[in-house]
Amino acid sequence: MSTPHPHVDIDAPVAEALAAGRPVVALESTILTHGMPWPQNDEMAASVEAIITAEGCVPATIAIVDGRIRVGLPPEERARLAQTTDARKVSRADLGYAVAQGLTGGTTVAATMIGAALAGIEVFATGGIGGVHEGAESTFDESADLTELAQTPVVVVSAGPKAILDIPKTLERLETLGVPVVAYGVSELPAFWSRSSGLDAPLSLDGADDIARFHRVRAELGLQGGLLVANPVPAEDEITADVMAQHIARAQADAVDLGVTGKNVTPYLLGRILELTDGASLVTNIALVENNARIAARIAVALAKG
């Protein structure tokens, strides 16, 4: 274990890879603590780490354990976190509090980007980022993932904004914040469980080398922040947008009826959609994270080649 920063512990395989300039891919942990049920959450994490390893990279799951920012979690610790029922959901606003109070929590996309940047990791694979929620014009509910992408220099590989969000508003906000959104191998922006959002992606690239070069050029130009890659779920695993639309509408109505607000919104909607689809949304969610891990690893390899 190496400690490059007073609050950060880097697991030995990750530290060795970083010191040698070998590729590392960061992974988030809110998806474990709040995004998927046990035991599928930890099975997903194991399979995603195996995919990253098979591509020649070292996986680094990031989480907060007893107030330490951990970069790379050994399997036993990862499994323990995945079973914890009282872990917090830690985003930028909660990170310092969780460290100061010695708490344990899953890191969101935003907090995982911060941990990755502290450790010197440039590529991160997730499922879907948070964004502008439906009804944000009255609730102001916009994920801190968006402002993090604007300031922290990490390539985030997702399957697009989660379809539970207001995707057009999310794209507008990302543009305002100067965050490039790059569809991978397609021209349409994917929408998490579905390949189709009905919206053109702002940018499109076909290969990991092109994404790596784009990231390098942005840094050379002094442009702050990250880059969002939107990688469509494989066709054989998708749930089409028309099928998802009815479940999403129902889940959103239920959230309003129950008065779910703030950071509980995303976990509630994901859990309710899992019930409404009889578990099919979880199968798709796992497939898309695996698919994103593979592309993230290839981008990390391309960046390590220089």
Residues near ligand PSU (CB under 6 A) are 28, 30-31, 34-35, 91, 108-109, 126-128, 130, 143-145, 263, 266, 270, 285
Which C-beta is closer to ligand PSU: that of 227 or that of 304? 227
Q: How far apart are the first and last CA of the chain?
A: 27
Which does residue 128 touch among Mn ion, ligand PSU, none (CB within 5 to 8 A, set by kind)? ligand PSU
Q: DSSP per residue over 23-75, as a string? A: -EEEE-SHIIIIIS-TTHHHHHHHHHHHHHHHTT-EEEEEEEETTEEEES--H
Q: Which of residues 250-269 bind Mn ion (CB under 5 A)?
A: none
Helix or strand holding residue 90 (H, E): strand 88-90
State the nearest-atom distance from the C-beta of 216 to ligand PSU, in Å: 25
Q: Pick from ligand PSU, Mn ion, none: which does 285 bind, CB < 5 to 8 A by kind?
A: ligand PSU
Q: Which of 127, 225 has the CB closer to ligand PSU? A: 127
Q: What region does 251 belong to: left with phi over 0, alpha with psi -120 to 50, or beta?
A: alpha
With CB atoms as reference, the residue minimizing the distance to Mn ion is 141
Torsion of the alpha carbons at 150, 151, 156 and 160, rounded to the nearest 10: -20
30: partner contacted, choices Mn ion, ligand PSU, none (Cβ within 5-8 A by kind): ligand PSU
Residue 121 · residue 26 · CB < 8 Å: yes
Q: Which does 152 bind (CB under 5 to 8 A by kind): ligand PSU, Mn ion, none?
A: none
Position 166 contacts Mn ion (CB under 5 A) = no
Record the tokens describing residue 192, joined without a space: 């998490």
Hey, what are 174's tokens? 């990302």
Q: Kindly list the distances between the CA atom of residue 216 and the CA atoms of 196, 249, 295, in Å, as whole numbers in the listed order.
A: 29, 40, 17
- Select from 141, 148, 238, 290 the one that contacts Mn ion (CB under 5 A): 141
Distance of closest approach, residue 37 Cβ to ligand PSU, in angstroms:
11
Nearer residue to Mn ion within complex by CB, 69 or 132: 132
Closer of 35 and 180 to ligand PSU (Cβ): 35
Least distance from ligand PSU to the Cβ atom of residue 30, Å: 3
Nearest distance in Å: CB 138, ligand PSU: 16
Q: Which does 284 bind (CB under 5 to 8 A by kind): Mn ion, ligand PSU, none?
A: none
Rounded least distance, CB 222 to ligand PSU, Å: 27
Task: Output the DSSP codes for 224-237.
Answer: -S-EEEE-PPPGGG
Active site positions, annotated: 28, 162
Q: How far apart are CA 238 and CA 241, in angstroms?
A: 9
CB of 33 to Mn ion, least distance (A): 16
Q: Count the Cβ atoms, other than its own, within 10 Å of residue 4.
A: 13
Nearest Cα neighbor of 109 from 97, 92, 94, 85 is: 92
Point out which residues bind Mn ion (CB under 5 A): 141
